[in-house]
Structure 1
């Protein structure tokens, strides 16, 4: 069946009209497809990364190498999701020369318009793509998606908000037993963003 925008549509969860290249503090949450626990386990309140979790962790660490206008703040790789704070320090100069984490990223997959160089959505798309490709090499699969579509973000507004988000990220492993993202948790309702007192 060919594409029909009347019935085949996805709605962007980004803020309409917001410039995701502007300097700011962005709290990002990315979940695995089907919320599968791929990256390790939480033991006694501490995250124990497996080899796939190490890939997710290492690739996040290299984001500033590929996007020099990005600074990393606190982040945590959990069994089935990642929470992290990205800081855009300045409008990137020469953003066209800024290489993605994955040089072979297919920009034709954009659903809501052309990718914007050095924007938060482009950075996250690049990150997800390179992690997926590296895990596919281990699994000996091709094109297997490990991430759910899209990602969640909250734009930090002030120092108090940032401090609360940092504490939430730091506490995430200790709260795993009660985390709605934990498939063994009785409620299983993904509401992690609503538990943070922004």
Structure 2
């Protein structure tokens, strides 16, 4: 039996040629721990949100309130995961300020990827923290999968295809590979 490639298992899923604080659109998928159905259920091809699912939807919509450089595309809350489009759109002045004065940004010396305060990882982390606080009031054992999946959206055609995938996701739940 062939042994798994340890580097692949422990390595980052992030594209090594991309800086995730760059302006761009990202397709993000975030799973619950053990793919538990915390967010509600699909009935007649429509998502019926639980209280935790409603909190997740509310926190998703509030992302631009906390990260003013973020615009949101469509999103969908599924029983055990969330799909959404996050667009980072920093002004030229913000980009220059971050590059010119990086010492003003919070740092974490243990993070090999550098400061994580105004990039995709920090946006997802903030969202997960907000939902977790609310969800644990309802179900103390709520949790997230440790990581998340992202895809850099490179052109208008890809954006359109991902947009359609997200909005049609509840209708395809019975065939969804993430259903369990």
Give your verdict on TM over 0.5: yes
Deviations 1:7-44 (A, max 9, x none): xx932111124211111110000011101111000011
Q: Does 1:120 align with 2:117?
A: no
Mapping of residues 13-162 of structure 1, within 5 Å:
13-91=13-91, 93=94, 112-139=112-139, 141=140, 144=141, 146-162=143-159
Q: Is the 8 A contact 1:12 1:112 kept in 2?
A: no
In 1: Cα distance, 2:33 partner to 2:50 partner: 17
> SS of 1:58's equivalent?
helix
Q: Give the deviation of 1:87 after TM superposition.
A: 0.6
Moved over 3 A (4+): 110-115
Report the TM-score when normalising by structure 2: 0.82
**Structure number with higher helix proportion:** 2
> SS of 1:30's equivalent?
strand
Report the TM-score when normalising by structure 1: 0.75
> SS of 1:173's equivalent?
helix
More off after superposition, 110-119 vs 22-31: 110-119
Task: Give unpaired runs (5+ residues) of structure 2.
Answer: 1-5, 99-106
In 2: Cα distance, 1:112 partner to 1:145 partner: 29
Q: Is the 8 A contact 1:25 1:156 kept in 2?
A: yes
Q: Give the deviation of 1:132 after TM superposition.
A: 1.0
CA root-mean-square deviation = 2.3
In 2: Cα distance, 1:63 partner to 1:133 partner: 15
Counterpart of 1:166?
Answer: 163
More off after superposition, 15-24 vs 160-169: 15-24
Q: Is the 8 A contact 2:38 2:142 kept in 1?
A: no
Aligned pair count? 162
In 1: Cα distance, 2:112 partner to 2:21 partner: 16
In 2: Cα distance, 1:128 partner to 1:166 partner: 22
In 1: Cα distance, 2:152 partner to 2:46 partner: 27
Q: Give the deviation of 1:138 after TM superposition.
A: 2.2
More off after superposition, 32-41 vs 122-131: 122-131
Q: Does 1:179 align with 2:137?
A: no
